């Protein structure tokens, strides 16, 4: 679907003042302003984030009580039972927490539920295991905020309960002895968008004399894969963690990087999100997340090597399953969804693999720009994953349908639910009614946010290199996209491997190569247009520099990575 270009309105006075203060170009200053950075101090913290810039962890509700209780457990050599989640954030949280408790002299046991058999959250199996093992303290990581009955069971058994989480709490909280969550009502913690592994890391640093710098590889993995905003403390975690990942001291990380073909490369957020993360998630999607836990926890290179290969193969299985269900779901959407009436796409089917529902929901939401809920039914129940769009808070919408749901939880853009089969049609009507009300004034068109409109003369090596200093990129700090209009197409476009298009664009004086990955379908438009408007990310073509002996101050080192394209008016 063609995106609507939303070019940021420049604040000429502010950007010039910021540019002068930082000795940077006005366009780069505008990029800062677009991210809410309006003074020198904020810019310096953004460009050079330091661990010393982190907030006081004791401001997180429940943190002080948690530290006290865990130190008591260590002093008394109590039995601690850890219950986690099967995604990368949950697995990295478990690995980090268990590692630190072992350093304190404890011998904790951990349990990660099976996505299909057990579902999300604390379950009765975990409660039974904790009882069998005589646990004194039960700690849930990356889950627990909606597990009221299971917490009550544990309380009844006389087991102390602690929830360490980052999910949105409901109006009523579970009756756990301790809840550590920056999002709890009236929290004084200044940054609410930590991943679970970020909350766990801050707890662990208070438990250890060690500053745990080497464990930031785990924190960066969980933070990026949970798609939390890469600002504030998350930016610090990921910026530091990427360096640790690139050095790959942990055997499991080293072997995972190897099977991804990334050995010797500087790891970035794209590599985590599209290569490392999917393999770690694959175990929990199609089998058991225990495989990912063992990989990251292992101190043996030979064991880690075998586990990394198995995860690589699990990811191939996941891709095949996902492809088949996506094809079925798209066909079902075309048959059953009236896009003039359905603001939310709700699709259900018997036996769809629950491990890939979230990915399929995301793909369909991107395709049609609609909030999407994909439900797999078995017997009398359906389990679903929801993905949303800008301006529609999916968790709030689900809360208005809670009388039809057995369970729900999540965030503004992603959620999970369990529903009785007999309620699915009623739920479909209800959530569409809510969406029509909330999105009545919104255009149902995806938006491409553009930092600024540029002339090609504004692109030089210094500017493009400075953009790389804004890394790591992700939600909250997206890869900068710019636009240039009325450009002349030079020569005929070339189609390269994997659907890539390459052509040259000029303003009459300066010409740059344009590369569009997966955009070969635009070849006819490029070939038949005299002038085009382009949205792109400028980058340094390092390979081209080396191959052609281009110096680092030469415009010929620059290429434009195409994001969107339209004919000039």
User: Does residue 432 fall inside a structural domain?
Assistant: yes
359: enclosing H helix or E strand: helix 357-368
User: Which CATH number does the domain housing residue 498 bear?
Assistant: 2.40.50.140
One domain for residues 114 and 189: yes
Instruction: In whole angstroms, give the CA distance from residue 211 to residue 192.
Output: 22
CA dihedral for 482, 484, 485, 487, sign (positive or negative): negative
456 shares a domain with 432: no
Residues 559 and 502 in one domain: yes
Find where tokens 């403390």 sit.
Answer: 233
User: What is the residue whose two structure tokens read 């590889």?
Assistant: 217
Contact between 139 and 80 under an 8 Å Cβ cutoff? The reply is: yes
- Of 256, 260, 262, 218, give the one whose Cα is nearest residue 240: 218
User: To 5 degrees, how large is the angle CA 454–CA 366–CA 495?
Assistant: 60
Angle (CA) 55-60-66 rounded to 5° is 120
CA distance 46 to 469: 10
Shared domain for 174 and 89, answered yes or no, is: yes
For residues 434 and 454, state if they share a domain. no
Q: Do 155 and 83 belong to one domain?
A: yes
Query: Is residue 423 domain-shared with residue 388, that is, in the same domain?
Result: yes
Residue 4 resides in a domain: no
- 438, 460, 477 — which closes off a domain? 438
Eight-class DSSP state of 276: I
Whether the bond into 472 is cis, omega within 30 of 0 = yes
Q: Work out the average pLDDT over 77-84.
A: 98
pLDDT of residue 546 exceeding 60: no
Task: Report pLDDT digits (tens) over 126-155.
Answer: 999 999 999 999 999 999 999 999 999 999
Reported as half-sphere exposure (CB side, CA atoms, 13 A), residue 292 has a value of 36
Q: Are 532 and 565 in contact (CB under 8 A)?
A: yes
* Average pLDDT over the chain, rounded to an integer: 95
- Residue pair 203/63 in contact (Cβ under 8 Å)? The answer is yes
Please report the pLDDT score of residue 554 as a whole number: 62
What DSSP string describes 114-160? -TTTT-SS--HHHHHHHHHTT-SEEEEES--TT-HHHHHHHHHTT-E
CA dist 154 → 122, 124, 158, 537 (Å): 11, 10, 6, 53
Q: For 488-511, what is each residue's pLDDT tens digit?
A: 999 899 999 889 999 999 999 999
Q: What CATH number has the domain bearing residue 175? A: 3.90.1640.30
Per the structure, the count of domains in the chain is 3
Q: Which domain holds residue 410?
A: 337-438
394 and 475 inside one domain: no
Whether 413 and 487 map to the same domain: the answer is no
Last residue of a domain, one of 181, 214, 247: 214
Share of the chain above pLDDT 70, in %: 98
Is 540 a domain residue?
A: yes
Tokens of 27: 């366009």
Residue 279 included in any domain: no
Strands of 160-164's sheet, edge to edge?
A: 109-111, 80-83, 137-141, 160-164, 178-180
Pair 205, 211: CB distance under 8 Å: yes
The answer on 472 and 417 residing in a single domain is no
Q: Which helix (H) or strand (E) holds 347?
A: strand 345-350
Residue 530 has pLDDT above 90, yes or no: no
Distance CA 290, CA 45 (A): 38
> 3-class SS at 189?
coil
Residue 519 within any structural domain of the chain = yes
What digits encode the pLDDT tens for the residues 248-293? Answer: 999 999 999 999 999 999 999 999 999 999 999 999 999 899 999 9
Asked, for residue 72, whether it belongs to a domain, the answer is yes
Looking at the structure, tell me whether residues 95 and 204 fall in a common domain: yes
Regarding whether 431 and 362 lie in a shared domain, the answer is: yes
Query: 308 lies in a domain?
Result: no
* C-alpha dihedral sign at 304, 307, 309, 314: negative
Q: What is the spatial distance between Cα 47 and Cα 29, in angstroms, rounded to a whole number?
A: 12
Whether residue 83 is predicted with pLDDT greater than 60 in this model: the reply is: yes
How many angstroms from the chain centroid is the CA of residue 220?
11
Count Cβ atoms below 10 Å from residue 438 Cβ, excluding itself. 17
- Which pTM was predicted? 0.92
User: What is residue 550's predicted lDDT score, i.e. its pLDDT?
Assistant: 57
Tell the burial category of 25 from Cβ atoms under 10 Å away from its Cβ (0-12, 13-18, 19+).
middle
Q: Is residue 478 part of a domain?
A: yes
pLDDT tens digits, one per residue of 151-189: 999 999 999 999 999 999 988 999 999 999 999 999 999
Q: Which of 155, 184, 214 is the endpoint of a domain?
A: 214
What is the per-residue pLDDT for 553? 60
* CATH code, 345: 3.10.310.30
């Amino acid at each position: 679907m063609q995106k609507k270009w939303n070019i940021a309105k420049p604040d000429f006075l502010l950007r010039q003042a910021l540019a002068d203060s930082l000795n940077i170009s006005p366009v780069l200053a505008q990029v800062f302003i677009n991210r809410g950075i309006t003074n020198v101090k904020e810019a310096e913290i953004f460009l050079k984030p330091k661990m010393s810039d982190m907030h006081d962890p004791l401001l997180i509700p429940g943190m002080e009580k948690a530290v006290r209780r865990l130190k008591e457990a260590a002093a008394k050599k109590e039995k601690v039972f850890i219950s986690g989640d099967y995604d990368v954030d949950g697995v990295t949280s478990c690995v980090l927490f268990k590692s630190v408790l072992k350093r304190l002299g404890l011998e904790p046991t951990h349990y990660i539920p099976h996505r299909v058999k057990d579902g999300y959250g604390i379950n009765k199996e975990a409660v039974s295991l904790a009882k069998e093992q005589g646990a004194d303290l039960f700690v849930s990581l990356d889950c627990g905020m909606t597990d009221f009955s299971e917490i009550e069971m544990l309380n009844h058994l006389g087991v102390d309960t602690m929830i360490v989480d980052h999910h949105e709490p409901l109006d009523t909280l579970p009756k756990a002895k301790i809840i550590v969550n920056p999002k709890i009502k009236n929290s004084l913690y200044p940054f609410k968008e930590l991943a679970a592994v970020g909350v766990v890391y801050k707890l662990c640093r208070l438990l250890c004399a060690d500053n745990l710098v080497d464990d930031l590889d785990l924190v960066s993995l969980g933070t990026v894969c949970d798609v939390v905003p890469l600002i504030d403390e998350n930016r610090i975690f990921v910026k530091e963690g990427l360096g640790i990942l690139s050095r790959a001291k942990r055997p499991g990380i080293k072997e995972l990087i190897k099977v991804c073909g990334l050995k010797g490369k500087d790891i970035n957020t794209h590599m985590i999100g599209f290569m490392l993360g999917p393999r770690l998630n694959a175990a929990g999607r199609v089998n058991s997340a225990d495989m990912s836990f063992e990989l990251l926890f292992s101190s043996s290179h030979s064991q880690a090597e075998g586990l990394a290969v198995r995860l690589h193969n699990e990811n191939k299985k996941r891709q095949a399953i996902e492809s088949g269900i996506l094809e079925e779901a798209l066909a079902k959407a075309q048959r059953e969804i009236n896009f003039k009436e359905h603001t939310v796409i709700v699709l259900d089917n018997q036996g769809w693999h629950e491990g890939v529902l979230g990915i399929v929901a995301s793909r369909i939401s991107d395709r049609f720009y609609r909030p999407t809920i994909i439900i797999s039914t078995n017997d009398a129940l359906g389990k679903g994953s929801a993905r949303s769009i800008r301006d529609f808070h999916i968790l709030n919408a689900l809360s208005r349908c809670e009388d039809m749901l057995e369970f729900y939880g999540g965030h503004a853009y992603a959620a999970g639910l369990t529903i009785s089969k007999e309620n699915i049609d009623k739920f479909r009507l209800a959530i569409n009614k809510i969406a029509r009300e909330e999105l009545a004034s919104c255009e149902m068109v995806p938006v491409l946010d553009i930092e600024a409109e540029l002339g090609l003369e504004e692109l030089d090596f210094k500017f493009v290199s400075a953009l790389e200093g804004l890394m790591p990129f992700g939600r909250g700090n997206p890869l900068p996209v710019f636009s240039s209009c009325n450009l002349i197409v030079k020569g005929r476009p070339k189609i390269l491997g994997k659907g890539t298009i390459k052509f040259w664009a000029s303003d009459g004086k300066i010409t740059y190569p344009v590369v569009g990955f997966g955009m070969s379908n635009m070849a006819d438009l490029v070939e038949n247009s005299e002038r085009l408007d382009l949205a792109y990310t400028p980058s340094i073509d390092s390979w081209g520099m080396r191959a052609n002996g281009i110096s680092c101050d030469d415009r010929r080192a620059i290429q434009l990575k195409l994001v969107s394209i339209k004919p000039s008016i």
